[in-house]
Amino acid sequence: MSIPYYRMRDHYYRMIGSKCEKCSAQYFPPVNICRRCKNTRLESVEMPRDGSILGYTLQKESVAGFEEQEPMVFGLIQLSNGVRVVAQIVDMPYESLKIGTKVTAVFRRVKADGSSGQIFYGYKFGPVRSGISKATTD
Ligand SMILES: [Zn+2]
């Protein structure tokens, strides 16, 4: 396993962002300086998994290594705490999407490293289902 990926795994599996201790602004990915008040004291916080779609787009051709996932749908997601995230949308046909569609974070395979066989996982967004969303290995 590569060291950078190992060190960053919490950011991929749990969506850890940061929260300003002074003005409570939240960020994802985490930042070291609050953009609102310039405070440098921020704590780590886990982002909520639920959100809604603010915008979306269909990418018919992808960069090398992602051909098997074509076409890919990407969306601008507003999490329930107001933080915005750009992420892949999965398990939802492009034609079914609308501005405001509710989604939830799911953890999925992002890509496999051909030389090491290591599989990288990360967050994507999918349909809201009853019960707890769980990571899958597909
Ligand atoms: Zn602040």
Q: Output the pLDDT for position 117.
A: 73
Is residue 37 exposed (0-12), middle (13-18) or buried (19+ Cβ within 10 Å)? exposed
Name the amino acid, one letter, at 96. Answer: S
SS (H, E, C) the chain: CCHHHHHCHHHHHCCEEEEECCCCCEECCCCCCCCCCCCCCEEEEECCCEEEEEEEEEECCCCCCCHHHCCEEEEEEEECCCCEEEEEECCCCHHHCCCCCEEEEEEEEEEECCCCCCEEEEEEEEECCCCCCCCCCC
Q: What residues are neighbours of ligand 1 (ion), with CB under 5 Å?
A: 20, 22-23, 25, 34, 36-37, 39
pTM (2 d.p.): 0.78
Instruction: Tell me the C-alpha distance between 135 and 102, whole Å.
Output: 18
Q: What is the CA radius of gyration of the chain?
A: 16
Q: Output the pLDDT for position 131.
A: 52
> Alpha carbon of 103 to those of 65, 90, 131: distances in Å?
26, 10, 14
CA 27 to ligand 1 center in whole angstroms: 10
Domain positions in the chain are: 1-47, 48-138
For residue 56, what are its two tokens?
A: 């979306």
Q: Output the pLDDT for position 11.
A: 58
pLDDT in single tens digits along all 138 residues of the chain: 556 666 666 655 789 999 999 999 999 999 999 999 999 999 999 999 999 999 999 988 877 777 777 889 999 999 999 999 999 999 999 999 999 999 999 988 777 667 777 777 788 999 998 655 455 544
CA 2 to ligand 1 center in whole angstroms: 34
According to CATH, the topology of domain 48-138 is OB fold (Dihydrolipoamide Acetyltransferase, E2P) (2.40.50)
CA 42 to ligand 1 center in whole angstroms: 8
